[in-house]
């Protein structure tokens, strides 16, 4: 009996941990969405799939390169901090890339070095943002990609991701095509 009590107590601790991890994930994300700063990142989506988490559109950001002086100063896959500001049109641009964590008043994203290019005068790094995936309903992901491809042909169309930033952490809230949420745009397209 004593053994059983111990076992069930330990099990309750484990069960609590199993509940705590997803709950903590929700709380962190909600806190960034509530108190973080919103930025619009211009993007070009495509649609792959994840066996466990379903269909998502992979986002490729226009603002993902940063000029460097020397290739040797950068290491592939290392952590970097990307300082973000808005341009005249209200879209996010890279202000600077640093290796030391900036103070929390500045808007920045903790990211990784995805690629280092150094050829003659072209010297830059490609940044891997932590919000390159946007999960969508199975039936809509493919449609979203098609819709976007059509939108690309039209120079007046802008696609962007709305991202909230807080102390280096980022939450991708939604993807918009001409200020319409991508889900609504797809639905509208499907209905027509």
Of 78 and 87, nearer to other proteins (C-beta) is 78
Report 69-98 residues binding other proteins (CB under 8 A): 76-77
The binder of other proteins chosen from 71, 79, 101, 135 (CB under 8 A): 135
The binder of other proteins chosen from 125, 172, 177, 185 (CB under 8 A): 172
| Structural contact between residues 94 and 63, judged by C-beta atoms closer than 8 angstroms | yes
Q: Is residue 131 a contact point for other proteins (CB under 8 A)?
A: yes
Of 116 and 121, nearer to other proteins (C-beta) is 116
Gap between the terminal Cα atoms of the chain: 66
φ, ψ for residue 157, nearest 5 deg: -90, 135
d(CA 46, CA 53): 16
Report 141-170 residues binding other proteins (CB under 8 A): 170
CB atoms within 10 A of CB 107: 22
CA atoms within 13 A on the CB side of 176: 14
53 by Cβ neighbours in 10 Å (0-12 / 13-18 / 19+) ranks as exposed
Minimum Å gap between C-beta 156 and other proteins is 27
Report 8-27 residues binding other proteins (CB under 8 A): 8, 10-12, 14-15, 17-19, 21-22, 25-26
Minimum Å gap between C-beta 49 and other proteins is 9
The binder of other proteins chosen from 4, 72, 120, 153 (CB under 8 A): 4
d(CA 83, CA 94): 6
77: Cα separation from own chain's centroid: 17
Of 151 and 161, nearer to other proteins (C-beta) is 161
Give the binding site for other proteins (CB under 8 A).
4, 7-8, 10-12, 14-15, 17-19, 21-22, 25-26, 29, 50-56, 76-77, 130-138, 140, 170-172, 183
């Amino acid at each position: 009996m004593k053994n059983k009590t111990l076992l069930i107590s330990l099990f309750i601790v484990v069960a609590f941990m199993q509940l705590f991890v997803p709950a903590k994930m929700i709380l962190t994300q909600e806190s960034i969405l509530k108190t973080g700063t919103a930025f619009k990142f211009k993007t070009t989506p495509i649609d792959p799939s994840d066996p466990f988490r379903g269909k998502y559109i992979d986002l490729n950001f226009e603002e993902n390169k940063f000029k460097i002086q020397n290739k040797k100063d950068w290491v592939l896959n290392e952590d970097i901090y990307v300082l973000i500001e808005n341009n005249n049109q209200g879209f996010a641009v890279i202000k600077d890339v640093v290796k030391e964590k900036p103070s929390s008043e500045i808007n920045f994203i903790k990211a990784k070095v995805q690629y280092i290019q150094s050829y003659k005068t072209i010297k830059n790094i490609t940044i891997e943002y932590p919000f390159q995936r946007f999960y969508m309903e199975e039936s809509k992901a493919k449609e979203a990609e098609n819709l976007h491809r059509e939108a690309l042909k039209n120079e007046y169309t802008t696609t962007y991701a709305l991202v909230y930033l807080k102390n280096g952490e980022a939450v991708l809230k939604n993807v918009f095509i001409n200020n319409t949420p991508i889900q609504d745009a797809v639905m509208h397209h499907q209905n027509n």
